[in-house]
Chains A and B, each alone.
Chain A
C-alpha cells in the first residue's frame, strides 16, 4: 500500500448472492527487530495449508481434518505478531489474538478476544534440490454457545467450553537443481489433536462433554512433465468423545469408527493463470463408502502476486 504497509483484500461472491470478505488485512513492512504485525481479517498462521487461499491447493477440496476441525479454513478478525530470528537457519515464532467468532470458536468470548494461537516454524535446504519447512501450532478458543448443524442445516446442538487444538505440519519440496519448471515433487503432511471440554446441549449447553479428536493427512504431488502433475492424498479422522452429553448413537458418538478419505489427482496447468484438474476420491468418512469424481477449472484474470513457500 505504501512503504510502511502491505495490504491484502480478498472478497468472494457467493453463488446464492452477496459477497463475503475472506481476508482484509494490513501488514507492517518496517518494524524493527524482525517483527511483523498483521491486523484485520486473515487466515490464521497455524499449520501449513491454513494460510493459503483454497485456489492455491493442488486438490479440489481441503483434507478431512481441515473440514472437520477448522471448517475448511480458519480465519478470524484480530492481530498477528511474528518474529523472525536473526539466524542463518530459519526460525519464526508467531502469535495471534483473535475475536473468537469463527469456528472452532464462537460467540466472541472475553469481549472479543476469545481465540488465541501460537506457532513456531523452521525450515531449510538440503543441497540444491530440496527444501523443507515444518512447525508446531497451538490454537485455543473459548466457544460460547457454538452451534452445530446437520447436513440439512438444522441446528442440532450448542457447545460452550474450551477448545484446544495442537497442529504439527511438515512440507518437503524437491526440484532437480532447484528448477521446478519441468519436474518437481512436493510432500506435505499435517497432524491434528483437539481437546474440547465443556457443556453441550440440544438447545442450551447443559450436559458435560469431553471430546478428543485426532486427525492427519499426507499428500504427495509430482509434476512429471511441464504443465502436468499427479497426486495422492490420504486423510484420517478419529474421535473419542465422552461425558453425559454423548448419547449412545447420537451425533457426538463416533462409535469407535475411523473416518478416512483417499484422493487421486491429475492436474493440467497451462500457466499459473489457467488450471484444470480431475480428482477421484474414495470417501469413507461416513458409514457408507462413497466414490466421488470431481473436475475443476480455475481461471485467473488480472495480475496475481506470488505465493509463499
Chain B
C-alpha cells in the first residue's frame, strides 16, 4: 500500500504529461484527482494503523541492488504516519489553491507538484538509507523548478539556486557519512547493508560518532533550518509561488526534523546526547529569538511568515534536543501543528496576493471590514501560530517547554519568552493588515473569500481547532514510537559506553555501575 501511496502522484504526473497542453481544466482535474487519491490511501493507512504497536507497519521489502546491500524497503510507524498524512493532506489543497493562480505552463507546474509529492512521501516512508537519500535529493529538482519558473519574477532564480545549492552541500556530506557508516557496519558485522533498522544497531566509537553525527546533522540542520543555516529560507519562501511556499513550510522543513529523529539520534546516540543536545538546544533557542525579532521588523508579509517558521522550528529543535518522551511527543505534534498553521498562513497570504498583487503589509489595512470571513479565519490561524491555548500550537509548545525544563532550565525560560515575541509580531501584523481604517483605496473593492478558497482553508482550520481541543488521537499515534526511540537511545548509549570502557582499559567493568549513570547533561 505504501508503494501505491508514493506512486499514485507519479502516475498522475505521467497522465498529466500526456494530456495536450491547452486543456488546462483537464490537467488541473487530473492532478487534483491524483493528489486526492494519494490522500485517500493515506486515510486508509490511518485507519489500518495499529496505534499500540511500536513496530514498523505496512512494511514492503523487495531486493533492488542486492550486491550493494540496497533494498526497496518501506515502512510506517508513529513518527512517519503523521508526516505522511500531512504531506498527502496539503498537496490537494495546494492544487486547489493555485487553481486560478498559475496561468502559464500549467501542465509543467502540475507535473512538478506531483513529482514533489512522490519524493516527499518517499522520504517519510523509506527504511533503506540509500532510498531515503535518493528521495531526499530527488525532491530538490521539482522544488527548484517551481521556485525558479513560477515564482516572483525579480528574485526567483536567485532564491531557487540558493535553495538548491545550500541544501545540496549538506546532503552530499551526508552521503559520504552514509557510505562511511555502511563500511563500518560491514567491518563490525560482515554485512553490507543500507537497511536503516539494522544500521541502528551498529556500535561505534565516540570520535567516529561525532564526525558522522556532524555530517548527518549538517544536512538536516540546513533543512529544518537551524539558526545560523537558515538564510536560504526567507528567500525561498518569499519568492516561491503559493503552492511552493505552502509545501516548503508545511512539509519540507519537517523532513529535516524527521531526519534528526529517524537517523541522527538513533544512529549516533553518544554524540547526540553528549554534544548534540546542548548545541542544538542553544541553536534552537537562538533561532526562536532571532526569528521572532527579525519578524518584528519585516515589511513583507510572506517574509514575516517565513521568519516565523524559523522561530517555530526552533521550538521543535529544543524539543528534539531534550530527548525525553514528553518533549519528543511535543516535537512530533508541533511538527504537525507548525505545518498546519504556517501552511494556512501561506495559503491566506497567497489569497491576499491574488487580490492585491502585493505582499507589503503597508499596502493593506482595514481589510476586516471588506473581508470579514477571511478575517475571522486569518485570526484563528494567527492565534494558532502564536500558541494560544485552545488551538493546536499551544499543545505542542507546552509539551516541549514542560519537558525540556527538566533538562535545560535557563534555555527553556528564554524559549518561553519566544512565545511572547510570537504574540507581539503576529498581533501587530494582524492589526496592520486587517484592523484599522482603510487607508489605501485599492483595499475597498477587495472581495471576500470565495467558495473554492473556503474549500482550501477550512479543512486546515478544522484540524487546527481539533488538535487544539482534543490532541489525544494524534499523540497516541506517535507515543509508542517515541517511547521506543528514547529507550533505543538510552540502551545504545550505554552499550557504546561499555564497549569503549572495554576497549580503553582492556578490563571488563561490571556493567551495573553504568546503569545508574543518568542520561547527560544539560545545565
A and B associate: no
B residues lining the A interface (CB < 8 Å): none
A residues lining the B interface (CB < 8 Å): none
